[in-house]
């Protein structure tokens, strides 16, 4: 069943997750404080993002599937979420297509940023945007090959004056943000405050979790 308007979306997501058993870890406050963002309790906090595409996200056997669209398709979180001192982790797979299969938009203090995995032709990773420069143009840019049909472990940490990110335990981002303008591209604004987006690419997302981490004053 696809996501449609708000009420049907909330009912559909929660109902399918209950039928599937669980998505992600299925645990709240579990191992090392990680909490699922895709279990039945958290599911009503998500909505399909209004990018204007006719393609709609769906749940298949406890996995979020974001189909290919023209150009973007995604979901966003409607509840409260920390703006600093937190981590997010998930597993993402490129099913079809050749652009980013994980566009993770997230809060950063009084603004937002996006971690892009597999963009600009399929292999560029980085954070958008710093001082108006996208992930392909700033120092966070890196390139790697991504196989279709393979799960990749992605982790993001926002804390103090830094944004960090890892893919399969390899650190790809370690960026200081003090004194810089951090913001997202206008075309991905429907993903705020926390969202997952793809660009002309079908993706699958599972094991989406978050936890608070100690801040500098903790």
d(CA 211, CA 51): 28
How many residues in total does the chain contain?
218
- Among candidate residues 136, 143, 216, 135, the one with its CA nearest the CA of residue 183: 135
For the chain, domain boundaries: 6-212
Check residue 108 and give its pLDDT. Answer: 97
CB atoms within 10 A of CB 137: 16
Check residue 90 and give its pLDDT. Answer: 98
How confident is the prediction along the chain (218 residues), in pLDDT tens digits per residue? 334 333 333 333 333 333 333 333 334 445 789 999 988 777 778 899 999 988 999 877 768 999 999 999 999 999 999 999 999 999 999 999 999 999 999 999 999 999 999 999 999 999 999 999 999 999 999 999 999 999 999 999 999 899 999 999 999 999 999 999 999 999 999 999 999 999 999 999 999 999 999 876 44
Q: Give me 183's structure tokens.
A: 């913001």
d(CA 66, CA 101): 9
d(CA 140, CA 148): 23
Place of tokens 């966070």: 140
CB atoms within 10 A of CB 72: 24
**CATH class belonging to 6-212:** mainly beta
Q: What is the four-CA torsion angle of 11, 206, 52, 202, rounded to 10 degrees?
A: -130
Check residue 38 and give its pLDDT. Answer: 85
Check residue 120 and give its pLDDT. Answer: 95
Buried b / exposed e over 89-108, threshold 16 CB at 10 Å, is bbbbbbbebebbbbbbbbbb
Check residue 11 and give its pLDDT. Answer: 30
DSSP 116: E
Check residue 8 and give its pLDDT. Answer: 37
């Amino acid at each position: 069943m696809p996501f449609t308007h708000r009420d049907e979306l909330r009912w559909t997501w929660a109902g399918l997750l209950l039928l599937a058993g669980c998505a992600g870890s299925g645990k709240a406050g579990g191992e090392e404080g990680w909490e699922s963002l895709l279990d039945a309790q958290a599911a009503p906090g998500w909505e399909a993002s209004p990018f204007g595409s006719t393609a709609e996200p769906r749940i298949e056997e406890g996995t979020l599937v974001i189909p290919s669209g023209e150009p973007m398709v995604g979901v966003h979180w409607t509840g409260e979420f920390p703006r600093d001192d937190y981590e997010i982790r998930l597993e993402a797979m490129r099913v079809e297509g050749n652009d980013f299969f994980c566009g993770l938009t997230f809060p950063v203090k009084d603004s937002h940023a996006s971690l892009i995995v597999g963009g600009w032709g399929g292999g560029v990773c980085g954070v958008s945007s710093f001082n108006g420069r996208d992930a392909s143009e700033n120092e966070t840019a890196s390139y790697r090959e991504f196989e279709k049909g393979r799960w990749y472990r992605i982790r993001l940490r926002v804390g103090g004056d830094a944004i960090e990110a890892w893919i399969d335990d390899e650190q790809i981002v370690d960026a200081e943000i003090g004194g810089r303008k951090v913001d997202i591209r206008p075309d991905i604004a429907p993903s705020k405050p926390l969202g997952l987006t793809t660009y002309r690419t079908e993706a699958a997302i599972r094991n989406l979790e978050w936890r608070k981490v100690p801040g500098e004053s903790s």
